[in-house]
């Protein structure tokens, strides 16, 4: 009984992965403008948008939905720089795994709440925006790996969200 349950579980995951692959392949082959306008095949830069859309950007998740302060604070910062996040790649490669089209996608769902890399990139985008850098300049810093130096511990207090 236990072996057949394990086989069934493996089969379900395999079929789910196959279905996701078909959906992803269909999206990639469909005509029209690409959501990942800035994606570079040569350097394997994850998906991002080089320019802002004509329509309104999607809302980020409400920070109050999260229990830990760091996640609340980072989601609050992300909401303040949605247009910048929209123009940034995310190096956890959620574009391939989850179909995200930019770093902003990580904050319109719960993904960033469990991904330190996404949080570091958003904090970098926020702090560099406050310094007056453009989304393109921030994108270069993210591509260069500057997000790796971000210290998230300062966002573990309630005063950090300012």
pLDDT at 21: 43
% of the chain surpassing 90 pLDDT: 69
Calpha distance 60→109 (Å, rounded)? 7
Nearest to 103 by CA among 55, 141, 156: 141
- Selected residue with higher pLDDT from 33 and 126: 126
pLDDT at 158: 80
Mean local confidence (pLDDT), 107-118 = 97
Q: Where are the alpha helices (DSSP H) in 30-134?
A: 69-80, 82-86, 94-98, 105-108, 116-130
- Selected residue with higher pLDDT from 137 and 2: 137
The encoded tokens of residue 72 equal: 């609340």
- Label residue 162 by pLDDT band (50, 70, 90): low
Q: Where are the alpha helices (DSSP H) in the chain?
A: 2-29, 69-80, 82-86, 94-98, 105-108, 116-130, 135-143
Lowest mean pLDDT among 23-27, 34-38, 42-46: 23-27
Calpha distance 86→104 (Å, rounded)? 5
- List beta partners, residue 30: none
pLDDT at 161: 58
CA gyration radius, the chain: 18
pLDDT at 43: 67
Calpha distance 98→20 (Å, rounded)? 9
Phi first, then psi: what are they for 45, rounded to 5°? -75, 130
- Label residue 3 by pLDDT band (50, 70, 90): low
- Selected residue with higher pLDDT from 127 and 19: 127
Calpha distance 119→152 (Å, rounded)? 8
Residue 42 has pLDDT above 60, yes or no: no
Calpha distance 42→40 (Å, rounded)? 5
Lowest mean pLDDT among 42-56, 63-77, 134-148: 42-56
């Amino acid at each position: 009984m236990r072996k057949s349950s394990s086989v069934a579980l493996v089969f379900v995951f395999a079929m789910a992965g196959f279905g996701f692959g078909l959906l992803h392949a269909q999206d990639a082959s469909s005509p029209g403008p690409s959501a990942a306008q800035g994606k570079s095949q040569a350097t394997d830069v994850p998906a991002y948008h080089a320019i802002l859309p004509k329509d309104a950007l999607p809302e980020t998740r409400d920070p109050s939905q999260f229990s830990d302060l760091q996640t609340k604070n980072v989601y609050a910062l992300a909401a303040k720089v949605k247009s910048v996040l929209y123009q940034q790649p995310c190096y956890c490669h959620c574009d391939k795994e989850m179909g995200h089209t930019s770093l902003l996608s990580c904050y319109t769902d719960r993904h960033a709440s469990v991904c330190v890399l996404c949080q570091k990139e958003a904090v970098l985008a926020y702090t560099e925006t406050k310094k007056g850098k453009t989304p393109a300049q921030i994108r270069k810093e993210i591509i260069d790996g500057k997000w790796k130096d971000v210290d998230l511990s300062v966002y573990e207090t309630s005063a950090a969200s300012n």
